[in-house]
Structure 1
Amino acid sequence: MTIAPSEQTRPPRRGVLLRILPPSVYTGRARALLERSTLVYSRAWLVFLSGIVEPLLYLLAFQVGFGALVDEVTGPGGEPMSYVAFVAPALLAASAMNGAVFDSTFNVFFKFRYNKTYDAMLATPLGPLDIALGEIGWAVVRGGLYALAFLGVMAGFGLATSPWALLLVPVALLVSFAFAAVGMVCATFLKSPAQFDFVQLAVMPMFLLSTTFYPLTVYPEPLQYVVQCLPLYHGIELTRGLSVGVLDVSMIGHVVYLLVLAAAGAYLTAKRLAGLLLR
C-alpha cells in the first residue's frame, strides 16, 4: 500500500503547545506531579495548618484587640468600612502568597539541589515545563486551600458581606499562581539554605507595605508608586474590592498584572530547569 507524501509528512495531531515545544521540554504530563504531591502530603497534612493559623491569629488580634482602637477607615470606592473588614481580605491574599512562596521555594530547592528529584523525573517522558507546571500547580493548590480556610473564618466573623466574596477563592488562586511561578524561578538561583533569608527579605516588607494594614493614601506620594508595583498590592486590591462588592475598571489591570507575572514566571522556570538539568 502506497502512502501519499502528504500523509507521510503530516505531523501527529497534538495540542498547539506540543507542536511548538520539543518533547524534551514539554509532554503534557504535569498532572503526574500533582498526583505525586497529593500522595506525599496525604501523610503530612498537618503542615497545612501553619498557613492557616498565622493569618487567623492576625485576624483575631485585630478583631479583639487593635481593631477596637480604630473605628473606620476608607475602603474601596471611598466608602468607610471597619478596620477589621479592611484588613481581613488583605490577610487572605497574604495567606495565599505565603503558601505558594513556601512551597515553590523551600520544597523546590531541596528537591532540586539535594534530593535530585527532578533529575529522576527527566529520565521519564516528563520535560522541564511539565515539572514547572506541576510544581507551580501544587503550590497554587496549597495557596488556594489556605485562602478557602481563611474565607470560612471571614464568613464566621461576618466579614464577607457581598456575594462577590465568592470570587475571593479564584483571586487567591491567581495570586498563588503568580507568586509560585516567580518563587520557583528564584529557587533555581539559590545555592544554599542560608540564602532563604533573601526570600524572607522580599516577602516580609511586601506583606507589610502592600496596603495590608493601611490605605495607600497614608504613604508619601513617591512611595505610593513603589507600593503599586508590588505583586501583593494587586492581589489585595482585588480581594478587598470583592469582599465588599465594590467593583471598578482598575480590577482588570490588577488581573492582567498577575496573569503576566504568572506566565513570565512559568516560562522562566521552564527555561532555567532546561538549562540546568538538560546540559
Structure 2
Amino acid sequence: MRRAWILIISGAVESLLFLFAFGFGVGALVGDLTLPDGTVVSYTAYVAPAILANAAMMGVLAETSINVFAKFKWMKVYDGILNTPLRPWDVALGEVWWALIRGFTYIGAFVVIMALFGLLDSWWSVLAVPACLFVALAFSGIGLTLATLFRDWTDFDWMNAVVFTMFLFGGTFTPVESYPDYLQPLVYAMPLYHGISLVRGISLGQAEPMMLVNVVYLLALWVVGMWIAQRRLARALYK
C-alpha cells in the first residue's frame, strides 16, 4: 500500500472529522451526559468510542467487500491463486488478515487521538484496541459474503445505506434507552450496537455483564459469516 497511502490516511481522517463534528461540535451544546447507571460523562467521551467502533467496522467492510469484489469480478486475482495448493478458505483468511492489518492503522491512530484529547478515562481503555479488532473480525465474514452476493458496483449502495443507518441509530449518539420502546429491540439486533457497547464499556471503564452478550453476539456473527463466506467464495471462484 506504499503507493496508495492516501487511502489509509483518508480512513483515519474520516473518523477524526466525525469526532470534531459530533463529539466536540454537538458536545459543546449537550455538555455532560448521564448514563442509565447514573454515571456522568462528557458527551465527547461518550461519542468517541462509538466512532472508534464504527471505524473498525468500516475499515474491514470496505476491504473485504468492495476490494474483494474487484479482485474476483474484474481483476481475476484469485484465478492464479487457486492454481496453487491454496483453497478458497485460505483466500478468505488471507483477505481477513489483511483487512485487520489495515483496520488496525485506523483504530490505533484514533485511539492515540482520543488519548491526546483526554478521552480515555481508565487504564482499561488500552483494551479498546483489541476490542475494536474483535469488532472488525465480526464484520469480516459479512463483507466477504456481500462481495460474492453483489453483482454490480451499484449494489454496494445498499450496504452503505444499512451501514449509515446503524451508525446513526445504533447507539452512537444517544443511549438506546432514549428511543421509543418499540424501536429498542431493533437497535439491540444491530451488529454495530454490540460493537459500540463493547468498546464504549471498555473505554469508560464500565465492566458489566452485558459486555459478555456483546462478545458472544460478535463471535457468533464472525463464525457464521466466515462459514457462509468461504462457501460462497468457493462457489463463485469455481463456477
- The residue aligned with 1:89 is 49
Query: What's the secondary structure of 1:73's corresponding residue?
Result: strand
Residue number among 87, 94, 102 corresponding to 1:127 in the alignment: 87
Residue number among 140, 144, 151 corresponding to 2:111 in the alignment: 151
Higher mean alpha-carbon deviation, 137-146 vs 119-128, is at 137-146
User: Separation in 2 of the partners of 1:171 and 1:211?
Assistant: 17
- The residue aligned with 1:248 is 208
Q: TM-score, normalised by structure 2?
A: 0.96
- The residue aligned with 1:12 is none
Give yes or no for contact 2:104–2:133 (8 Å, CA) kept in 1.
yes
Q: CA deviation at 1:45?
A: 2.1
User: Separation in 1 of the partners of 2:40 and 2:213?
Assistant: 24
- The residue aligned with 2:72 is 112
Whose radius of gyration is greater, 1 or 2?
A: 1
- The residue aligned with 1:59 is 19
- Residue 56 of structure 1 aligns with an amino acid whose one-letter code is L
- The residue aligned with 2:166 is 206
Alignment of 1:1-279 (within 5 A): 41-75=1-35, 77-279=37-239
Structure 1 stretches of at least 4 aligned residues deviating more than 2 Å after TM superposition: 61-65, 74-78
Identity %: 46
- Residue 196 of structure 2 aligns with an amino acid whose one-letter code is I
- Indicate the RMSD between aligned Cα atoms, in angstroms: 1.2
Could you report, residue by residue, the CA deviation over 1:210-235 in whole angstroms, capped at 9, with x for unpaired residues? 11011111111111000001111001
Gaps spanning 5+ residues in structure 2: where? none
Query: What's the secondary structure of 1:247's corresponding residue?
Result: coil
User: Separation in 1 of the partners of 2:205 and 2:79?
Assistant: 47
User: Separation in 2 of the partners of 1:98 and 1:205?
Assistant: 13
Gaps spanning 5+ residues in structure 1: where? 1-40
Q: CA deviation at 1:258?
A: 0.5
